[in-house]
Structure 1
Amino acid sequence: MNSSIAKVAGILAIVAGALFVLAGGVTWGLITTNLAEQNITVAEDSKMLPGDDVNGPFSAFAQAQIIDEHAMAGTEGRTYAELGGLVKEAEAAGDTALAEELQGQRTTVMNASASAESWLGAPVPEMEPGAALAELVRRWLRAFGPGTERDLTWWLGDTLTRVRAALRAVGAVKVSLQDGGTGYVLPDDLEPDEPVEPWAALLPTLDPTTMGWQARDWYLGRHRSHLFDTAGNGGTTAWWDGRIVGAWHQLDGERVQVHLLEDVARDGVRALEVEAERLTEWLDGARPGARWPSPVLAALRKARAT
């Protein structure tokens, strides 16, 4: 499988999940429709939601988790970091063949590889690299805009020069941000969004919305050190009215519980309790694990063990 095509397909699939937190119920409906149209089903050997249609963040998480499990099975449970150490040992010993084999396993674990066609339900069209990058930028702006050049270079892992060329290609328009910086939106996205009622959401580890921007203070506030590990992986999050206000966990059994990091008043508490109850029912006894537990959940787990 062409790795660059797979990467493009993977990013396009991820972008589809990012809008619902930002625009409330209407956008959530659009996202579930888009995911459902891909006709993806969670693998039957998944411990979480086997056979379920992938039409939301948790079914998408379940599918990603079983892909990761399959990748780990091919390495006898050895992690990306462990394989890196073994590659160096093999190279130092002059065993080039073993080093190449281990590096291949390491790449598989890193990518959690799966056929892009199996995820998207159709072959991935080939695109000229510049056009493909412009399409990614267009979709990112549609989901996350307004965003900055820094957000895009971080999210894409690309150069500022190429990002600027892609912004020009899609006709992105400069706008002023509340912090005084400069952001970009698509030319048909210049009108202010209509106000929405306060809403609550519980999102899984590494959710695209949590991870969508490089600059996160406007929705994360002072909680970065509680919810992101040192490598930048975001844990489970509890959202109230457009901002992250805490995390959720299942440390005491199957029931989902919310751990708040700030006061959200009575309406916020009740709305998050409703979401926790709904998520508990929807998971139906499943307890999705997290390879990268956030610092706050690690501290909660440690406190329960003492």
Structure 2
Amino acid sequence: MISEATLDELQRFAERGRIGGEVTLRCDMPYPEAESEVTLSWDCSEADGEQAVLEVEGIGRFAVPRVGRRRVQVGAAPLNARLTAGSDQAELVILPRIIIPRIDELHAPSNLVLGEPLRLDWRSVDAVSCRVRFFEGPRCVEVVADAAGEMQYRPEHMGELHIEIEATGRHAHLSAESVATRVALVQVVAPPVRITLPRAVSALLGDVAAIEWVVSGTSRVRIEALEREQVYPAPAVGCLLLEVGALSEQFRLVATGLDEREHVAMVRVTPRLLDVSLVPDELAFLSLAWE
């Protein structure tokens, strides 16, 4: 009659699948990196039967000695291995690790004035390389870069600039998990319009007066002669020459910014009368000239 203790022991062996002997199958790295080599080692010297067979999923079925080891290449998927010796078996599942990169740092300004360069810097971990993409409306500029670094980019349009950085891990060809992305948004705004224009210009009646101006941050400029009811297209840096009449005149400079907002500056041109204190000296000069 079999004792209760013996029945318990048989039950434990049955649960392990090792009735009648001892079979061990081990891997030196149970969670190896994908596309690497591992070493399987086994011992079935106490198992029944004369032949031991090692089966590796996707690789093959091999007759092996009762004690030994074998190098096996693993891919990205879980790998099953089974060792059979007589009626005893041992199974092993190898779970390869996909190296997942991450982007720890991505620095970009939240606002940028059109015409100024944007400075972007980033740092990724476990990445082979990075791709940086700049989206301006339908336009996309892509740059291949290192896993960490910095670069400058000069936007060409106002509005939202969408920046995407993609870090590629060494297992990107095996799994989409080996690719990390991070985004940044930059608002590109119009540069400020600056106008340099005198408030008043004067000259003697009949002489020529010069109105000079310098405008920056503008798409177009015009000069409006209010009393003459005329409009003159003008450059950003220019000079308007005009004959001074008997009455003062007002001129308006209108600068249209890149955001289509108008900025206005005024200048008044006034005639300057001859200083009467200079008249005697001028008459004396004329009389001397005739003598």
TM-score range, shorter chain: under 0.3
The structure with the largest alpha-carbon Rg is: 2
Q: TM-score, normalised by structure 2?
A: 0.15
Relative to the length of structure 1, the TM-score reads 0.14
